[in-house]
Structure 1
Amino acid sequence: DLKVRQIRDYQQQTITDRAGNTTPLAGPTGDLVILDFQADGNYVAIRPSGTEPKIKFYSFVWHPPQDGADLAAVKTMLENRLLALEHDLKQFAGT
């Protein structure tokens, strides 16, 4: 579920799917790219720093609420998902 489903590019105002097809992205423009993952509500926002020469990554994870869910288990699952995202992004960036 951590496979990229689509890329939202707010600079180019396009959405690109896994097959490389693009569609227009409505809304404001800016230096922002969002990687949407297969699991709904899970994504990474990427933008340049406004004050430093570096790129910032913001990871968001989500799991749908379920009646009777073990909250500690869900929290652990989401923390592990964040760690996996961090690992993959660092590996991609070569750090």
Structure 2
Amino acid sequence: RIRDYLHQTVTDRAGNIQPLEGPQGDLIFLDFQADGNYVAVRPSGTEPKIKFYSFVYHPPEDGSDLAAVKTMLNNRLLALEHDLKQFATA
């Protein structure tokens, strides 16, 4: 789904649009299927460019291998970065 804080709308995968409650601003969140995984997109306040901020999350589990989870999340961030670069240069 896409949360658009400028137009205060939420658009789902099917294209359905709902109102978005909250503050208004020049910011978009691209929410991924896995909860807590999203990209924030906004214009720079001082330069002619768009900024992307990637967020990934994996719920904590008892006995999970912290190093393996960190590696998995880092790989997810790298894949997001790759996809965003492909999108931005298309």
TM value normalised by structure 2: 0.98
**Corresponding residue to 1:9 among 4, 7, 24:** 4
TM-score, normalising length: structure 1: 0.93
Aligned equivalents of 1:51, 1:12: Cα separation in 2: 22
CA distance in 1, matches of 2:75, 2:19: 33
- For structure 2, the residue ranges without an aligned partner over 5 or more in a row are none
Q: Distance in 1 between matches of 2:49 and 2:89?
A: 14
Deviation at 1:94, TM superposition (A): 1.0
Identity of aligned residues (%): 81
- For residues 18-50 of structure 1, give each alpha carbon's deviation from its aligned partner in whole angstroms, at most 9, with x where no partner exists: 000010000111100000000100000000000
Runs of 4 or more above 6 Å deviation: none
Matches within 5 A, 1:12-91: 12-91=7-86
Tell me, in whole angstroms, the C-alpha distance in 2 between the residues paired with 1:93 and 1:59. 14
Report the Cα distance in structure 1 between the residues aligned to 2:50 and 2:89, rounded to whole angstroms: 14
Instruction: Calculate the aligned-residue CA RMSD, in Å.
Output: 0.8
